[in-house]
Amino acid sequence: MSMRRTLKARRALTAVAITGGLALLAAGCGGDSGGKAESNAPSSPGVTASKSQGSPAPAGDRVLAEVKGGDEVTLTVASALRDTGGFLTVTGKVTNGSGKFWNPAQWAGDEQELAANSASMAGASLVDATGKKKYLVLRDTQGRCLCTRFTGGFDANESKTFYAQFPAPPASTKSVEFQIGDMPPATIDISDGQ
C-alpha cells in the first residue's frame, strides 16, 4: 500500500471517529424536558415503538424503538442519523433490569474478525427490507468496531449509552430493522443529518 493510500485511509478513519464522537456528544447534550413521548401499540411482542410528531426532540428525550430480550435486558434506540459522509450512526441505551450482573458477550457477533471486540455492539446489523440488504457495523483495519464496547459488563439495574456506526442505506430508504444478539428486531426511522 502506498504512503498516499495509507494517509488517505488514516484520514478516513479519523473522520469516522470524529463523526461518531460528535454523534455521541450530540446525544449526550439533550436536556430532560419532562415531556412524555407518544406511544404507539407494539408492532410485535417485546417491541415498543414511539415517534414524536412536529419538531424533532433532543436525542436524549426521543425513543425510536424499544425492545426487551431475555434476562430482562432493554435496548432503547434514540436516534438513527444519516450524515453526508455516507454513514448512519445509531445511538441509544441498554438497561440491565435483571437484578444481577449481565455480560453481553454474545452481542459481539460470530465473525472471527470481531472476536477481539468482546462485549460490544459489534454484532449489530441493520436490515433494509425494501432494498433487500443487510448492513454490518463498520470496523477499522484491525477489526475494532466503530461502536460502543461495554467494558466490565452491566451491574444489576445499570444502564449504559451506546452508538454503532454503519454504512448508510440509500437516501430512498427511510426505515430499517436494527438487530443484535437475541433481542427482537426493532424498526427504526432514519433521520438525515447535515
Residue ranges covered by each domain of the chain: 3-30+40-192
DSSP letters along 1-36, please? --HHHHHHHHHHHHHHHHHHHHHHHHHHT-------
**Structure confidence at residue 108 (pLDDT):** 78
**Structure confidence at residue 35 (pLDDT):** 38
Highest average pLDDT, of 20-24, 38-42, 129-133, comes from: 129-133
pLDDT at residue 9 tops 70: no
Neighbours of 78 (CB within 10 A): 25
Cell of 55: 419538531
The residue that leads in pLDDT, 77 or 181, is 77
Cell of 99: 437484578
- Which backbone phi and psi does 125 adopt, to 5 degrees? -145, 160
| pLDDT classification of 106: cutoffs 50, 70, 90 | confident
pLDDT at residue 149 tops 50: yes
Cell of 31: 436536556
CA distances from 34 to 30, 61, 70 (A): 12, 9, 30
The pLDDT of 3-8, averaged and rounded, is: 51
pLDDT at residue 19 tops 80: no
**Structure confidence at residue 15 (pLDDT):** 52
**Structure confidence at residue 85 (pLDDT):** 87
In this structure, of 67-71, 96-100, 109-113, the range with the lowest mean pLDDT score is: 109-113
> For the chain, how big is the Rg over CA atoms in Å?
17
| CA dist., res. 27 & res. 91, Å (int) | 7
Tell me the pLDDT of the chain averaged across its residues: 75
The residue that leads in pLDDT, 28 or 184, is 184
pLDDT at residue 168 tops 60: yes
Q: How many CA atoms lie within 13 A of 11 on its CB side?
A: 7
The pLDDT of 150-178, averaged and rounded, is: 93
Would you say 97 and 107 are in contact if contact means Cβ atoms under 8 Å apart?
no
Contacts of 109 (CB under 8 A, 6+ apart): 117, 122, 123
| pLDDT classification of 144: cutoffs 50, 70, 90 | confident
Q: 180: closest CA among 112, 127, 115, 101?
A: 127
**Structure confidence at residue 84 (pLDDT):** 85
